[in-house]
Amino acid sequence: MATPSVPVDPARRAVIKQGISVAIATGLYGISFGALAVASGLTIWQTCVTSLLLFSGGSQFALIGVLGGGGGVGAAVAASSLLGVRNTLYGLQLTSTMAPRGLWRVPVAQLTIDESTAVAIAQDAPPNRRLGFWVTGIGIYVGWNVMTLVGALVGDAIGDPKQYGLDAAASAAFIALLWPRLKSRQPMAVAIAAAVVAATLVPVVPVGIPVIAAALVAVLVGLFTRQSTPEPQRPEGTTP
């Protein structure tokens, strides 16, 4: 006698499909980081450990961008850390949905990135939000680290990166990460202001400092915008 099949919830199936699609597209990009990291002076194992522990595309490209340009470790870490602050904000946004307890906080924190947050908050029901977060986060983590290793092996095999123009590719890759987020006037204005600040400081300060200064521009704009936003007025007769 045939076992009756259990119908799959179309909404959950759509979430899984979306998460896998995002994971594949993002994970494949890890090959660029692997090749560029080796070209910037990291060893293969250092490159892989960076993806395993840091696991944040923007922060990782900022790190190797500063190192590849001759900057010190301190400046590279500072630039990477400033860009990683956004993941803390994502975590605050996902706290009510994920509600991590105990040791579960570790994988939730590690997988809280741009893509897993975007897929999660795009869903209506909390169970689907959690499903989208886990499918996207785990898929990207596995794919990103596998492709990082592949890219590192390829980058190590090709020799001098300047022969192929890879010495400038980190900046191009970082711009590719930034470009899709410039969808309104304010992000574009912040990006232009940060670029002007960085370009002005490049001839006069050590490598890495312009990146940190550019990131501070965005932080200051964000703080100013938050403070200047008026609070919604409460109807008369209501208590706070």
161-170: long-range contacts, CB 8 A cutoff, minimum separation 24: 161/39, 166/35, 166/36, 166/39, 167/39, 167/68, 169/32, 169/36, 169/39, 170/36, 170/39, 170/40, 170/61, 170/64, 170/65, 170/68
Cα 180–178–150 angle (5° rounding)? 100
Q: Which residue has the higher pLDDT, 22 or 4?
A: 22
DSSP string, 129-165: HHHHHHHHHHHHHHHHHHHHHHHHHHHHHH--GGGTT
If you average pLDDT over every residue of the chain, what do you get?
Answer: 79
Specify the pLDDT at position 61. Answer: 84
Looking up tokens 């300047």 gives 162
Specify the pLDDT at position 92. Answer: 85
**What is the pTM for the complete model shown?**
0.70
Q: Let me know: does 57 contact 177? Beta carbons within 8 Å.
A: yes
- Residue-wise pLDDT tens digits, 161-204: 555 555 555 455 555 545 665 667 777 787 788 778 878 877 77
Q: Let me know: does 169 contact 51? Beta carbons within 8 Å.
A: no
Q: Is 50 helix (H, G, I), strand (E, B) or coil?
A: helix
- Residue-wise pLDDT tens digits, 44-63: 999 999 999 999 887 888 88
Q: Measuring CA to CA, which residue among 77, 36, 41, 67 is closest to residue 173?
A: 36
Specify the pLDDT at position 46. Answer: 94
Q: How far is CA 24 from CA 11, 29, 125, 184, in A?
A: 20, 9, 24, 27
User: What does the alpha-carbon distance between residue 180 and residue 118 come to, in Å, rounded to a whole number?
Assistant: 13
- Residue-wise pLDDT tens digits, 73-106: 887 887 788 777 778 878 888 988 998 889 999 9
Q: Let me know: does 34 contact 147? Beta carbons within 8 Å.
A: yes
Strand spans (E) along the chain = none
Specify the pLDDT at position 239. Answer: 42
